[in-house]
Protein backbone atom coordinates (compact mmCIF):
# COMPACT_ATOMS: atom_id res chain seq x y z
CA UNK A 1 0.00 0.00 0.00
CA UNK A 2 2.84 2.40 0.84
CA UNK A 3 4.43 1.76 -2.55
CA UNK A 4 1.11 2.52 -4.25
CA UNK A 5 0.94 5.90 -2.48
CA UNK A 6 4.59 6.50 -3.37
CA UNK A 7 3.92 5.84 -7.06
CA UNK A 8 0.92 8.17 -7.04
CA UNK A 9 3.09 10.84 -5.41
CA UNK A 10 5.78 10.29 -8.04
CA UNK A 11 3.42 10.53 -11.00
CA UNK A 12 1.39 13.53 -9.86
CA UNK A 13 3.86 15.54 -7.73
CA UNK A 14 7.50 14.45 -8.05
CA UNK A 15 7.75 13.98 -11.82
CA UNK A 16 5.98 17.24 -12.79
CA UNK A 17 8.15 19.16 -10.32
CA UNK A 18 11.37 17.61 -11.60
CA UNK A 19 10.48 18.22 -15.24
CA UNK A 20 9.79 21.89 -14.44
CA UNK A 21 13.00 22.26 -12.44
CA UNK A 22 15.02 20.59 -15.21
CA UNK A 23 13.72 22.99 -17.85
CA UNK A 24 14.33 26.03 -15.61
CA UNK A 25 17.84 24.87 -14.68
CA UNK A 26 18.68 24.18 -18.33
CA UNK A 27 17.52 27.62 -19.47
CA UNK A 28 19.40 29.47 -16.74
CA UNK A 29 22.52 27.37 -17.29
CA UNK A 30 22.52 28.05 -21.03
CA UNK A 31 21.94 31.79 -20.72
CA UNK A 32 24.38 32.24 -17.83
CA UNK A 33 27.04 30.29 -19.70
CA UNK A 34 26.38 32.22 -22.93
CA UNK A 35 27.08 35.43 -21.01
CA UNK A 36 30.53 34.15 -20.07
CA UNK A 37 29.86 32.73 -16.61
CA UNK A 38 29.91 29.06 -17.54
CA UNK A 39 32.13 27.98 -14.67
CA UNK A 40 29.49 29.06 -12.17
CA UNK A 41 26.28 28.42 -14.12
CA UNK A 42 27.55 25.12 -15.45
CA UNK A 43 27.95 23.67 -11.97
CA UNK A 44 26.29 25.32 -8.98
CA UNK A 45 22.63 25.41 -10.11
CA UNK A 46 23.01 21.75 -11.07
CA UNK A 47 23.94 20.87 -7.49
CA UNK A 48 20.48 21.94 -6.33
CA UNK A 49 18.88 20.30 -9.37
CA UNK A 50 20.59 16.97 -8.62
CA UNK A 51 19.81 17.10 -4.92
CA UNK A 52 16.14 17.73 -5.66
CA UNK A 53 16.08 14.49 -7.65
CA UNK A 54 17.35 12.72 -4.54
CA UNK A 55 15.27 14.56 -1.94
CA UNK A 56 11.99 14.21 -3.80
CA UNK A 57 12.57 10.50 -4.39
CA UNK A 58 13.53 9.96 -0.71
CA UNK A 59 17.04 8.91 -1.65
CA UNK A 60 19.75 9.56 0.92
CA UNK A 61 23.35 10.07 -0.19
CA UNK A 62 26.33 9.57 2.14
CA UNK A 63 29.80 10.74 1.10
CA UNK A 64 33.19 9.72 2.42
CA UNK A 65 36.69 10.74 1.34
CA UNK A 66 36.22 14.43 0.50
CA UNK A 67 39.49 15.09 2.31
CA UNK A 68 41.26 13.25 -0.53
CA UNK A 69 40.67 16.01 -3.09
CA UNK A 70 41.78 19.63 -3.38
CA UNK A 71 39.29 22.13 -4.89
CA UNK A 72 42.15 23.94 -6.66
CA UNK A 73 43.50 20.85 -8.43
CA UNK A 74 42.19 19.49 -11.73
CA UNK A 75 41.43 15.77 -11.71
CA UNK A 76 39.98 13.11 -13.92
CA UNK A 77 37.33 11.37 -11.82
CA UNK A 78 36.45 7.82 -12.90
CA UNK A 79 33.36 6.14 -11.49
CA UNK A 80 31.42 2.91 -11.85
CA UNK A 81 28.01 3.30 -13.49
CA UNK A 82 25.18 1.53 -11.67
CA UNK A 83 22.20 3.59 -12.77
CA UNK A 84 20.66 6.96 -13.58
CA UNK A 85 21.09 8.19 -10.01
CA UNK A 86 24.88 8.06 -10.42
CA UNK A 87 24.55 11.39 -12.23
CA UNK A 88 22.59 13.04 -9.43
CA UNK A 89 24.92 11.57 -6.80
CA UNK A 90 28.06 12.94 -8.41
CA UNK A 91 26.55 16.28 -9.44
CA UNK A 92 24.92 16.90 -6.09
CA UNK A 93 27.46 15.58 -3.63
CA UNK A 94 31.00 15.38 -5.07
CA UNK A 95 31.85 18.92 -3.98
CA UNK A 96 34.29 19.70 -6.79
CA UNK A 97 33.63 21.72 -9.94
CA UNK A 98 33.75 19.51 -13.02
CA UNK A 99 32.46 18.83 -16.50
CA UNK A 100 31.17 15.54 -17.83
CA UNK A 101 32.58 13.55 -20.71
CA UNK A 102 29.42 12.26 -22.35
CA UNK A 103 28.08 10.48 -25.41
CA UNK A 104 27.16 12.45 -28.50
CA UNK A 105 23.62 11.08 -28.30
CA UNK A 106 22.94 13.09 -25.14
CA UNK A 107 22.96 16.27 -27.22
CA UNK A 108 19.48 15.27 -28.41
CA UNK A 109 17.84 15.38 -24.96
CA UNK A 110 15.48 18.39 -25.01
CA UNK A 111 16.82 21.37 -23.02
CA UNK A 112 19.44 19.23 -21.24
CA UNK A 113 21.63 18.69 -24.30
CA UNK A 114 21.40 22.37 -25.17
CA UNK A 115 22.41 23.42 -21.64
CA UNK A 116 25.29 20.91 -21.56
CA UNK A 117 26.68 22.29 -24.79
CA UNK A 118 26.69 25.88 -23.50
CA UNK A 119 28.08 24.87 -20.11
CA UNK A 120 31.12 23.27 -21.75
CA UNK A 121 30.50 19.60 -21.10
CA UNK A 122 32.49 17.47 -23.51
CA UNK A 123 30.67 15.35 -26.06
CA UNK A 124 33.00 12.56 -27.13
CA UNK A 125 33.33 12.27 -30.88
CA UNK A 126 35.48 9.38 -32.11
CA UNK A 127 34.04 9.32 -35.62
CA UNK A 128 37.40 10.30 -37.12
CA UNK A 129 40.93 11.19 -36.11
CA UNK A 130 40.24 14.91 -36.55
CA UNK A 131 37.06 14.66 -34.44
CA UNK A 132 39.00 12.93 -31.67
CA UNK A 133 41.60 15.71 -31.75
CA UNK A 134 38.84 18.32 -31.44
CA UNK A 135 37.49 16.49 -28.41
CA UNK A 136 40.95 16.47 -26.83
CA UNK A 137 41.45 20.19 -27.51
CA UNK A 138 38.09 21.03 -25.95
CA UNK A 139 38.98 18.99 -22.88
CA UNK A 140 42.36 20.70 -22.59
CA UNK A 141 40.70 24.14 -22.61
CA UNK A 142 38.42 23.08 -19.76
CA UNK A 143 41.07 21.47 -17.57
CA UNK A 144 42.54 24.44 -15.76
CA UNK A 145 42.13 26.30 -12.48
CA UNK A 146 40.69 23.33 -10.61
CA UNK A 147 38.17 22.36 -13.29
CA UNK A 148 37.94 18.58 -13.54
CA UNK A 149 36.29 15.90 -15.64
CA UNK A 150 34.05 13.01 -14.63
CA UNK A 151 33.99 9.90 -16.79
CA UNK A 152 32.21 6.54 -16.57
CA UNK A 153 34.84 4.15 -17.99
CA UNK A 154 32.24 1.41 -18.48
CA UNK A 155 30.53 3.68 -21.00
CA UNK A 156 26.99 2.63 -20.07
CA UNK A 157 24.90 1.74 -17.06
CA UNK A 158 25.20 -1.77 -15.68
CA UNK A 159 22.43 -4.28 -16.43
CA UNK A 160 23.21 -6.29 -13.28
CA UNK A 161 24.74 -3.86 -10.79
CA UNK A 162 28.14 -5.48 -11.30
CA UNK A 163 31.03 -3.51 -12.79
CA UNK A 164 31.68 -4.05 -16.45
CA UNK A 165 34.85 -3.73 -18.50
CA UNK A 166 36.62 -0.38 -18.29
CA UNK A 167 37.42 1.27 -21.61
CA UNK A 168 40.85 2.76 -22.23
CA UNK A 169 39.48 5.98 -23.71
CA UNK A 170 38.37 7.23 -20.32
CA UNK A 171 42.01 7.44 -19.24
CA UNK A 172 43.47 9.04 -22.35
CA UNK A 173 43.10 12.59 -21.05
CA UNK A 174 44.74 11.79 -17.73
CA UNK A 175 47.69 10.24 -19.54
CA UNK A 176 47.87 12.95 -22.22
CA UNK A 177 47.85 15.86 -19.76
CA UNK A 178 49.50 14.21 -16.75
CA UNK A 179 46.50 14.66 -14.47
CA UNK A 180 45.81 12.74 -11.25
CA UNK A 181 42.98 10.23 -11.47
CA UNK A 182 40.47 9.94 -8.62
CA UNK A 183 38.43 6.72 -8.46
CA UNK A 184 34.82 7.15 -7.27
CA UNK A 185 32.72 4.28 -5.97
CA UNK A 186 28.95 4.67 -6.31
CA UNK A 187 27.12 2.01 -4.34
CA UNK A 188 23.33 1.66 -4.03
CA UNK A 189 22.28 3.51 -7.18
CA UNK A 190 21.38 0.22 -8.90
CA UNK A 191 18.83 -0.50 -6.18
CA UNK A 192 17.31 2.97 -6.55
CA UNK A 193 16.92 3.05 -10.35
CA UNK A 194 18.48 0.40 -12.62
CA UNK A 195 18.45 1.02 -16.36
CA UNK A 196 15.52 -1.34 -16.97
CA UNK A 197 13.10 0.63 -14.75
CA UNK A 198 11.44 4.02 -15.26
CA UNK A 199 10.82 5.25 -11.72
CA UNK A 200 13.11 5.20 -8.66
CA UNK A 201 12.43 3.76 -5.23
CA UNK A 202 13.66 5.19 -1.92
CA UNK A 203 17.14 4.10 -1.01
CA UNK A 204 20.59 4.97 0.28
CA UNK A 205 23.50 5.68 -2.06
CA UNK A 206 27.11 5.73 -0.85
CA UNK A 207 29.70 7.82 -2.68
CA UNK A 208 33.33 7.03 -1.82
CA UNK A 209 36.05 9.40 -3.02
CA UNK A 210 39.31 7.45 -3.10
CA UNK A 211 42.82 8.83 -2.97
CA UNK A 212 44.14 10.20 -6.26
CA UNK A 213 46.48 8.17 -8.44
CA UNK A 214 49.21 10.66 -9.36
CA UNK A 215 51.46 10.37 -12.40
CA UNK A 216 55.08 9.48 -11.79
CA UNK A 217 58.16 11.28 -13.08
CA UNK A 218 57.58 9.72 -16.51
CA UNK A 219 53.81 10.17 -16.45
CA UNK A 220 51.18 7.50 -15.93
CA UNK A 221 51.71 3.84 -16.58
CA UNK A 222 48.53 3.13 -18.55
CA UNK A 223 48.00 -0.47 -17.44
CA UNK A 224 48.76 0.26 -13.79
CA UNK A 225 46.51 3.30 -13.82
CA UNK A 226 43.54 1.32 -15.13
CA UNK A 227 43.98 -1.64 -12.80
CA UNK A 228 44.71 0.46 -9.72
CA UNK A 229 41.71 2.73 -10.22
CA UNK A 230 39.39 -0.18 -10.99
CA UNK A 231 40.56 -2.05 -7.88
CA UNK A 232 39.96 1.07 -5.78
CA UNK A 233 36.41 1.42 -7.11
CA UNK A 234 35.69 -2.28 -6.49
CA UNK A 235 36.99 -2.02 -2.93
CA UNK A 236 34.21 0.45 -2.06
CA UNK A 237 31.35 -1.83 -3.17
CA UNK A 238 29.42 -3.79 -0.59
The model's confidence at residue 140, banded by pLDDT at 50, 70 and 90, is: confident
Instruction: Give 81-107 pLDDT, tens digit per residue.
Output: 999 999 999 999 999 999 998 888 778
The model's confidence at residue 238, banded by pLDDT at 50, 70 and 90, is: confident
So what's the pLDDT on residue 57?
Answer: 97
173 compared with 143, residue with greater pLDDT: 173
Least confident of 9-13, 103-107, 116-120, 165-169: 103-107
The model's confidence at residue 18, banded by pLDDT at 50, 70 and 90, is: very high
Rounded CA separation 139/177 (Å)? 10
Q: How far apart are the first and last CA of the chain?
A: 30
So what's the pLDDT on residue 190?
Answer: 98
User: Between 112-119 and 15-32, two packed helices, what is the crossing angle to 10 degrees?
Assistant: 30
Instruction: Give 195-236 pLDDT, tens digit per residue.
Output: 999 999 999 999 999 999 999 888 899 999 999 999 999 999
So what's the pLDDT on residue 173?
Answer: 86
The model's confidence at residue 129, banded by pLDDT at 50, 70 and 90, is: low
Instruction: Give 31-85 pLDDT, tens digit per residue.
Output: 999 998 989 999 999 999 999 999 999 999 999 999 999 999 999 999 999 999 9
CB 229 within 8 A of CB 181: yes
Residue 121 reports pLDDT greater than 80: yes
pTM of structure: 0.93
Q: Of the ranges 46-55, 112-121, 139-148, which is most confident?
A: 46-55
Closest to 101 in 3D by CA, of 150, 33, 36, 42: 150
Share of residues in the chain with pLDDT > 70 (%): 97
Closest to 121 in 3D by CA, of 16, 200, 33: 33
Q: Where are the beta strands (DSSP E) in 141-202?
A: 148-151, 181-187
Amino acid sequence: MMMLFYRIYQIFIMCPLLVSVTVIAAVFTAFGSALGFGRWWGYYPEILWARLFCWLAFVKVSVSGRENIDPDVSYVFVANHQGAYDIFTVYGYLGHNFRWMMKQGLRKIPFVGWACKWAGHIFVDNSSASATRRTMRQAERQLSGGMSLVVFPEGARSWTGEMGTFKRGAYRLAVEFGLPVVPLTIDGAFDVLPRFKLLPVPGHIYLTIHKPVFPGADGHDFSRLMSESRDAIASGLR
